[in-house]
Amino acid sequence: MKRVLVTGGAGFVGSNLSILLKREHGDAEIIAFDNLKRRGSELALPRLREAGVTFVHGDIRNPEDLQSVGAFDTLLDCAAEPSVHAGYGGDPRYLINTNLTGTFNALEAARPHKADVVFLSSSRVYPIAPLRDLPMATEGERFVIKPGAKGTGWSAAGIATDFPLGGARSLYGASKLAAELLVEEYRATYGLRTVVNRCGVLTGPWQMGKVDQGFLVLWAARHLYGGELTYMGFGGSGHQVRDILHVADLHRLVETQLKNLDSCNGAVFNAGGGHGVSVSLRELSDACARHAGKSPKINRDASTRAADIPYYVTDNTDVTRRTGWKPGQSVEDILTDVFQWLRDHHADLEPILR
Ligand SMILES: NC(=O)c1ccc[n+]([C@@H]2O[C@H](COP(=O)([O-])OP(=O)(O)OC[C@H]3O[C@@H](n4cnc5c(N)ncnc54)[C@H](O)[C@@H]3O)[C@@H](O)[C@H]2O)c1
């Protein structure tokens, strides 16, 4: 790698990947490209500068902004409107223009240089109704898949890439799936080497958590700084479950894929914390209360929003078999890291996360 373009490079994933890549490949120029749309992304600028990452202020919706970057040999596409609730009850144009047209523009910028492409996709490509229809039971403080139940693309190990794709998945999920299809066409038509990672929840320091995206950091911050929280949907029980992956574990995966691009070329992986690194909201409340030494008021809102799902855990079997990668950090490791960061940067973060 000589020149790497990281779109969304001031965002949570993009800034962390940029900095970790620069640490690993000191001779490479890492370019973090971002329009700073996400509140808090401006806090990445001094971190990027100190790490020796080049920041370019630009908009992925605008091909000329991408052209101004010049030649590059690797593209990590991390720019997005990342909320699954985006577009509901409102205008979906920013979402589609950024997530779909933006990825098209980034692929067009990559095409003349035959740059390698790693695309950050999402578990939200899987449709909502079949995920809601999975047979669930309640065990302790969480939903689980009913013992012994399994079907095409799902089992107690989680959701695999052969989970059926028919049905609505949110405009966000549709934008990511459509962008995935473009990535595959650029591989087949123009010979770019590509990898797609359908990630479950990603988290860690420098995530600017908000109600509709980045729940773990929001939960931790409200426990520490104050403010209220709400168990939303599914009767307001707080039993809904997600797997979580530390962004440093995602970085290890991306490094492995970049080193083995010939064998990973064209792959679409599910990648996440998996069953071993999953948590329900109620379990998260208990863990955050231990870390913070106090609890905020937690409300209950029984009504389920259009894109809510009760359970998502990644089945990592395929990505582990093909790359040897496994998540390394536990829920407790992740919370320890996040709480340390929240304490270290209290003054900067409280106005954004409270
Ligand atoms: N965080 C997660 O849990 C998660 C899970 C699965 C997939 N993903 C994917 O990972 C990628 C990164 O997500 P994230 O969590 O870092 O989100 P983020 O919001 O922290 O980062 C996205 C960045 O993109 C920038 N951006 C938005 N619109 C832009 C535009 N038009 N031009 C240039 N920059 C623009 C934002 O300013 C922000 O800094 C996204 O593609 C997202 O879909 C994230």
Cα of 151 vs centre of ligand 1, distance in Å, is: 32
The CB density around residue 87, as the number of other CB atoms within 10 Å, is 20
- Is the CB of 14 within 6 Å of ligand 1? yes
Query: Which pair of structure tokens corresponds to residue 254?
Result: 């991306």
Q: Express each pLDDT in 280-289 by its tens digit.
A: 999 999 999 9
CA of 350 to the centre of ligand 1 (A): 21
CB-based contact 312:145 (threshold 8 Å):
no
The region, left, alpha or beta by phi > 0 then psi within -120 to 50, assigned to residue 269 is: beta
Would you place residue 354 in the very low, low, confident or very high pLDDT band (cuts 50, 70, 90)?
confident
Is 119 touching ligand 1 by the criterion CB < 6 Å? no
Tell how far the Cα of 12 is from the centroid of ligand 1, in angstroms. Answer: 7
pLDDT tens-place string over residues 136-176: 999 999 999 999 999 999 999 999 999 999 999 999 999 99
Q: Pick from 25, 20, 63, 24: which is nearest to 33 by CA?
A: 63
Q: What is the pLDDT of residue 327?
A: 98
33 C-alpha vs ligand 1 centroid, how far in Å?
11
User: Residue 109 belongs to what H/E stretch?
Assistant: helix 102-110
Cβ neighbors of 60 (< 8 A, separation 6 or more) are: 7, 8, 33, 35, 66, 79, 98, 102, 103, 105, 106
pLDDT tens digits, one per residue of 59-83: 999 999 999 999 999 999 999 999 9
pLDDT digits over 99-139, tens only?
A: 999 999 999 999 999 999 999 999 999 999 999 999 999 99
Q: Where are the domains of the chain?
A: 3-353
Average pLDDT, the chain: 97
Ligand 1, residue 207: give the atom nearest the CA: 20
Looking at residue 212, its pLDDT comes to 86
CB atoms within 10 A of CB 112: 10
Tokens representing 160? 């695999």
Spatial contact of 146 and 136, defined as CB atoms under 8 Å apart: yes
Query: 18: part of which helix (H) or strand (E)?
Result: helix 12-24
Residue 275 has pLDDT above 90, yes or no: yes
| pLDDT tens digits, 174-215 | 999 999 999 999 999 999 999 999 999 999 999 999 988 999
C-alpha to C-alpha distance for 102 and 96, rounded to whole angstroms: 8
Tell me which of 5, 6, 7, 13 to substitute to probe ligand 1's pocket, judged by most ligand atoms within 8 Å of the beta carbon: 13
DSSP character for 101?
I
In one letter, which amino acid is 320?
A: T
Q: Which CATH number fits domain 3-353: 2.60.40.1180, 3.40.50.720, 3.90.110.10, 3.40.50.1000?
A: 3.40.50.720
| Structural contact between residues 201 and 215, judged by C-beta atoms closer than 8 angstroms | yes
Nearest CA to ligand 1 atom 2: 202
Helix (H, G, I), strand (E, B) or coil at 164: coil
CA geometry: angle 126, 137, 216, nearest 5 deg: 60
Distances (CA, A) of 207 to 12, 22, 126, 337: 5, 19, 24, 12
38 lines ligand 1 (CB under 6 A): yes
* 181 CA to centre of own chain: 18
CA distance 253 to 327: 9
| Burial grade of 316 (CB within 10 A; 0-12, 13-18, 19 or more) | buried
Question: In sequence order, which residues have a C-beta less than 8 Å from that of residue 257 and are 6 or more positions away?
Answer: 118, 195, 197, 264, 323
- The residue type of 226 is G
| DSSP H or E segment with residue 311 | strand 311-312
Q: Is the CB of 37 under 6 A from ligand 1?
A: yes
Handedness of CA 31, 85, 155, 283 (dihedral sign): positive
Any atom of ligand 1 within 6 Å of the Cβ of 201: yes
Residue 335 predicted with pLDDT over 90 = yes
Closest C-alpha residue for ligand 1 atom 42: 82
Q: How far is the CA of 196 from the centre of ligand 1 (A)?
A: 15
Contact 60, 24 (CB under 8 A): no
pLDDT at 219: 98
Distance 8 CA to ligand 1 centre (A): 6
Q: Would you say 187 and 150 are in contact if contact means Cβ atoms under 8 Å apart?
A: no
Contact 245, 202 (CB under 8 A): yes
